[in-house]
Each structure stands twice: as structure tokens, then as C-alpha cells.
Amino acid sequence: MDTEKHIRTIKSYVVRGGRLTQSQQNALDDLWPSLGLERQHGLLNSEEVFSNDNPLVFEIGFGMGDSLAQMAKENPNQNYIGVDVHPPGIGTLLRKIDELRLNNIRVFQDDAKLILQECIADNSLDKVQIFFPDPWHKKRHNKRRLIQAEFVYSLLPKLKENGLIHLATDWENYAEQMMEVLSSIKELENQSDSGSFVNTNIRPVTKFQRRGEKLGHGVWDLIFKKR
């Protein structure tokens, strides 16, 4: 008898439906071979992928890719890896990369936790950024939130010394949880002069930020450095 136990992992995201526009589908068909990365290829060699050894930024959940494409355009001497699961956003980002002629972004369509485990080498990332992750705002769903101590500890080995974690949310309760989690980890140091949250104008405004602000939400950013 097979006695193997299969443990169900709690997902911090859901793959939402969404019809692909023709331009999104065309981008996926035409651009994925040159801009897409596959988990089954194993550990990423960023110097081979980008043909340089520039600093590497890893973004989890880039939405429609507006802010990620803008950051890559404004920082051509940094390389960016984006991870998301939603085909419309991935198609849109690929199209923007092509339109802006960016050569410093590559994309995974996969679970970010698996990509970190299987594709990202230790001491390889200069920065991890997670902007407006799903807040799972109902109390009974809080356990699904991505920013938990266990997840942050899994990020630490992937960061270089002095590497940064930059988080943002428009849910105050989640911001407080993020601050509590990161502040409790002795390997991390808050980069705010006040020991609290940092200025929100240090990154491009995202679609989710604009939506939250229209609903009257505040916005909170945190930056912590690996000691």
C-alpha cells in the first residue's frame, strides 16, 4: 500500500481568469521564446542570460508590468527578473519590453516560491521587490499572505550581503504585519531613518497603488537590508 503523504501547500495567490487580448496573445507567441525563462531549465546564470554581470533585481508579482518596465528603462545598468502567473499581465509586459527595446528584463510564468527554490542561486540577488501582493484581507485568509517569516527566511540565502528587500502595500493591517515580520529577523536592518516606513516616491506608481488610492487607501513601503 502506498503510504506516501502529500502535504497540501497553502497558496498565496490564485490564478485569476482573464481573457487575453489579441496583442497579449501575439506577444506571448512571438516574444516568449526570447524573453521567457523556464523553471525546468534549473539554476539561472544571469551573466549568460543578460551577457553582463550587472546587479540583479527579482520582482514577485509584477501585475501588468508597468512599473517593472519603467524601472528597467530608467535603470539600464540593472537586470530584472519578473515572476508572475497571470497570462494577460505577462503578455502585456512582453509587449512593453519589445516596444521599449529593453534588453534587461526576463520573465518567469510560475510560482515564485518554486522559482526561488529551483532557479535562483544563493547570494545572487541584489534586491527582491514585492509590490502590492494579494492582501487576503479577510482575517480567516491572513494565513495565505505571502509575507510570513518562513517565506522571508527563504529569501535571505538568495540575497547578496547588503541586498535589499523592498515591499509595498495599500492595506494598513498588512503593512503592520510586514513590519513585524521583517523587524523580527535579526539578519535584516530597516533602511528607514525613522525606523519605520520609507517614502513611497522611490519607485514608480503601480496600477494596484492607483486603484487603492482611489478607494481611499494609504500606501506603505518598507526597505530592509541583509546585514
Residue bearing the bigger pLDDT, 214 or 53: 53
Read off the pTM. 0.89
How far apart (Å, rounded) are the C-alpha atoms in residues 213 and 217? 5
> Would 29 be classed as within a structural domain?
yes
> Which of 107, 158, 141, 165 has the alpha carbon at shortest distance from 14?
141
In the chain, the number of structural domains is: 1
Whether 112 has a pLDDT exceeding 50, the answer reads yes
Domain membership of residue 137 as a residue range: 22-226
Tell me what percent of the residues of the chain surpass a pLDDT of 70.
92
Q: Is 134 marked active-site?
A: yes
Is 13 within a domain?
Answer: no
At 1 the pLDDT is: 39
Give the start-end residues of each E strand in the chain: 36-37, 56-60, 79-84, 105-109, 125-131, 159-169, 188-190, 220-226
**16, part of any domain:** no
Mean pLDDT of 22-43: 97
The pLDDT, as a whole number, for residue 6 is 36
Please tell me which residue in 134, 170, 193, 221 is annotated as part of the active site: 134
